[in-house]
């Protein structure tokens, strides 16, 4: 985002800007946009009948000015929009120091099966477990249970088909882990192909992906990636920047194979989740 020009005499933040900065700094989670819009309306437009678009525009200008001041004084952080809210984020160049001195144990990432399953759910949501298993070519009970425990996915209802299977979708915590404002920021088909570095001449088999509310897209996988007669999805879910890496505990080696056979336990967890909703 291009930073606006600010007159040298106007580097100081006013009361509204400092209040918004304080609220974001005091929260360990993204501050909801609607709360900050309320602040703008109370501080800048009290007693006036400004429309929602004008208030939203003013909030955007305030955040942009704060970030411009941060940039001017070479601060180590800035305000970014994450999961529909605003949050302070350190700049990417400080990540090595943060990893070394502050979070040396939290460098583990999700296992490959978990990332693959999470990618399928993210692109096909809401999606049933059988569809995830069809795309990956392996059972997904244990992996989905782990993702539910980590609150990266959630149960959002039941499908209308036979047996009314549970539907799974990603959560706001998923957006936070990967530094996304909303699900529409996931990479598209062309971006995925560039990230994977897949040669255009490679023989391929096709699978279909779609985001919620969009028409299905088609991406390709090499014939070498087929397992047990099913095409295995190697959609890569990625960070927009290295500062947003998913710092999630890695499942221990061999754990995925063991928990995938725990069908009955998963069923109990799923039914209890539905009852408590």
For 203-220, the pLDDT digits (tens) are 433 444 444 444 444 333
CA distance 132 to 139: 8
Look up tokens 């955007």; give the residue: 60
For 88-98, the pLDDT digits (tens) are 999 989 988 88
- Tokens, residue 176: 């936070």
Q: Which pTM does this prediction carry?
A: 0.54
**Closest to 272 in 3D by CA, of 166, 172, 171:** 166
Per-residue confidence band for 230, with pLDDT thresholds at 50, 70 and 90: very low
Q: Average of pLDDT values for 240-255?
A: 39
- Tokens, residue 264: 């009955």
The pLDDT of residue 250 is above 50: no
pLDDT given at position 16 = 94
Does 138 or 5 have the greater pLDDT score? 138
For 22-72, the pLDDT digits (tens) are 999 999 899 999 999 999 999 988 877 788 899 999 999 999 999 999 999
Under 8 Å between Cβ of 147 and 154: no
Under 8 Å between Cβ of 217 and 189: yes
- Tokens, residue 196: 């994977």
Question: Which 3 state secondary structure label does DSSP give 63?
Answer: helix
Per-residue confidence band for 270, with pLDDT thresholds at 50, 70 and 90: low
Q: How far is CA 165 from CA 157, 159, 213, 267, in A?
A: 9, 5, 20, 11
What is the CB-side half-sphere exposure of residue 54 using CA atoms within 13 A?
Answer: 7
Q: What percent of the chain has pLDDT over 90?
A: 44
The pLDDT of residue 274 is above 90: no
Q: What percent of the chain has pLDDT over 70?
A: 63
Long-range Cβ contact pairs of 90-96 (< 8 A, separation 24 or more): 90/243, 91/243, 92/241, 92/242, 92/243, 95/242, 95/243
Q: Are β-strands 166-170 and 127-128 bridged in parallel, bridged antiparallel, or unpaired?
A: antiparallel
For 139-181, the pLDDT digits (tens) are 999 999 999 999 999 999 999 988 899 999 999 999 988 888 8
Angle made by CA atoms 273, 274, 275, in degrees to the nearest 5: 90
Domains of the chain with bracketed CATH: 13-90 (1.10.10.10), 112-276 (1.10.10.10)
**Closest to 125 in 3D by CA, of 207, 186, 211:** 211
């Amino acid at each position: 985002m291009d930073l606006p020009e600010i007159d040298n005499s106007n580097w100081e933040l006013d009361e509204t800007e400092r209040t918004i900065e304080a609220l974001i700094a005091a929260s360990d989670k993204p501050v909801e946009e609607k709360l900050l819009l309320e602040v703008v309306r109370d501080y800048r437009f009290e007693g006036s009948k400004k429309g929602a678009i004008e208030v939203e525009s003013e909030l955007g200008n305030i955040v942009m000015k704060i970030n411009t001041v941060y940039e001017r004084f070479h601060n180590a952080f800035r305000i970014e929009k994450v999961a529909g809210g605003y949050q302070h984020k350190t700049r990417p160049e400080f990540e090595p120091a943060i990893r070394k001195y502050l979070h040396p144990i939290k460098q583990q990432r999700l296992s490959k099966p978990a990332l693959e399953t999470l990618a399928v759910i993210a692109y096909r949501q809401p999606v049933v477990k059988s569809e995830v298993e069809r795309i990956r070519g392996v059972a997904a009970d244990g992996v989905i249970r782990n993702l539910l425990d980590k609150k990266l996915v959630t149960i959002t209802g039941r499908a209308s088909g036979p047996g009314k299977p549970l539907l799974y979708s990603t959560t706001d915590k998923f957006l936070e882990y990967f530094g996304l404002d909303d699900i529409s920021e996931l990479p598209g088909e062309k971006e995925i192909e560039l990230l994977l570095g897949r040669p255009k001449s490679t023989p391929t088999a096709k699978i279909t992906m779609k985001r919620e509310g969009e028409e299905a897209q088609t991406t390709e996988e090499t014939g070498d990636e087929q397992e047990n007669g099913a095409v295995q999805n190697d959609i890569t879910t990625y960070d927009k920047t290295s500062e947003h890496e998913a710092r999630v505990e890695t499942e221990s080696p061999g754990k995925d194979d063991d928990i995938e056979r725990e069908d009955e336990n998963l069923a109990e967890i799923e039914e209890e989740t539905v009852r408590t909703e």
